[in-house]
Amino acid sequence: MTSGAPSSRPAAVAGRFYPGDASDLARGVDDLLAAAVRRAAGPLPAPKALIAPHAGYVYSGAVAASAYQRLQPAMDSIRRVILLGPAHRVAFRGFALPSVDAFETPLGPVHLDRAVIDALARQPGCAVRDDAHAEEHSLEVHLPFLQRVLGPQFRLVPIVVGDATPDQVAALLTSLWGGAETLIIVSTDLSHYHDYETARRVDSQTVARIERMAAGSFGPKEACGSRPVNGLLQCVSRLGYRVTELDVRNSGDTAGPKDRVVGYGSWALEPAETARLADAHRQLLLNTAARAIAIRLARNKRPEISLDTFPNELRTIAASFVTVERKGRLRGCIGSLQAHRPLATDIAWNAVSAGFEDPRFQPLTVPEFRDSDLEISVLSAPAPLAFDGESDLKSKLRPGRDGLILQSGDKRGTFLPKVWEGLPTADAFLNGLKVKAGLPKEHWSDDIRIWRYTTESFRAPVPGELFRKAA
């Protein structure tokens, strides 16, 4: 409120979507978070944004907890939460804001950031509409998780999203993005009321689109919060982010019958330069790459990857490169620039390709393999880089950090960030990339396009014991 006595929105779904008693609610949320921590492979940096579900806790609480447990390392630094959810009860265009000072739950008030909300209310497409908030559960069910993880110090900016385009949502989020003090949360469930197998099939397609950051490629039938999700994806696709799958299930997996299920998923969205896999997951991927090459050597075939044996994080649709080195010298390197299959599968496939299909080298032999190191690079989404001429482009390159994709006409090439080790200046790096793309090093044209990406890279010697077992 800009004037008058403080006011609050009372809890609308307490006692239905989650426990109405404060003690029961606190205990229930803490138990869900503790179980999510036990499932996780270890503490990691907190993400900038989360996508999480909003059904009753008995159905989707465990999936939501997989997202909220990731915030614990940032519990003392997050001061503002931007929470977007779809409108289920009131139809309108644009964005609905509340007039009140706080949202109530059985755990107490969640105070709103009135300064930010009042500024938003002056923007086109935004309006104060308490009717859109009064009975809306898509925002409310997240509040107890935030209260238990972040405590009372954060301020909330709750936004119900009506009929809005990805461009409109992305513009709104860009204006609110902030720094480490600001967390973005988008609330959505996935498909509704299919039978179990149909839901799994439909949701798997939506999950892939989210993880490929294919903004605008799905709608409310695939995810009730598709409008805010698509806008968020449009934002992060421009920023070189990574999307990591944390949990994907449906009500048939958690607490309901399998004839009419609702799908749920949670994801972390992180700046690629701070995103990392847990050490246990890194080791699992290195072992997967080594085992893939060993099976190819022993049986002349690619391995079959059973994704059910991998954690959700390694089922994320992601792009990777696998590099084989022997005695410090390159022995093969093949990868994917665009995310198009689960990370574990991508790495197994690229490992075999690096060992046996890199046209620069003969196929790998058993003695060479035993004496090799493997390096895995997980890529961020390539983001277009704007520049005004070659000199400006060189000034924007970040030695040691940037991987680049260069395209001119039908010529295209890429260098991973590790290439800076041998080509340490912007001139050398860019000229070398032109040559790799099949262009003269002095080539320049107005049609040159550049995309920038970063990598998380990790390496280890080939484990001999694993090789002997696989062979």
> What pLDDT does residue 42 have?
86
Q: Residue 376: how many CB atoms within 10 A of its CB?
A: 26
Count of residues making up the chain: 471
Among residues 282, 288, 293, 339, the alpha carbon closest in space to that of 309 is found at 288
pLDDT at 46: 94
- Full set of structural domains in the chain with CATH: 8-271 (3.40.830.10), 279-379+457-470 (3.30.700.20), 383-453 (3.30.1490.150)
Three-state DSSP string of 78-146: CCEEEEEEECCCCCCECEEECCCCEEEECCEEEEECHHHHHHHHCCCCEEECHHHHHCCHHHHCCHHHH
Token pair in block for residue 124: 């086109």
Q: What is the pLDDT of residue 139?
A: 98
Q: Is residue 378 classed as helix, strand or coil in its secondary structure? A: strand
At 6 the pLDDT is 62
pLDDT at 463: 83
Q: Which two tokens stand for residue 294?
A: 């060993």
Which residue in this structure is represented by tokens 């935030």?
146
What is the Cα–Cα distance from 274 to 357, expressed in whole angstroms? Answer: 32
Low-confidence ranges of the chain (pLDDT < 50): 1-3, 5, 467, 470-471
47-86 pLDDT, tens per residue? 999 999 999 999 999 999 999 999 988 889 999 999 999 9
Residue 43: per-residue pLDDT: 87
What angle, rounded to 10 degrees, do the helices at 166-176 and 114-121 form?
A: 140
Q: pLDDT value at position 471?
A: 47
Predicted confidence at residue 2, as pLDDT, reads 44
In this prediction, residue 378 carries a pLDDT of: 97
- 230, 169 in Cβ contact below 8 A? yes
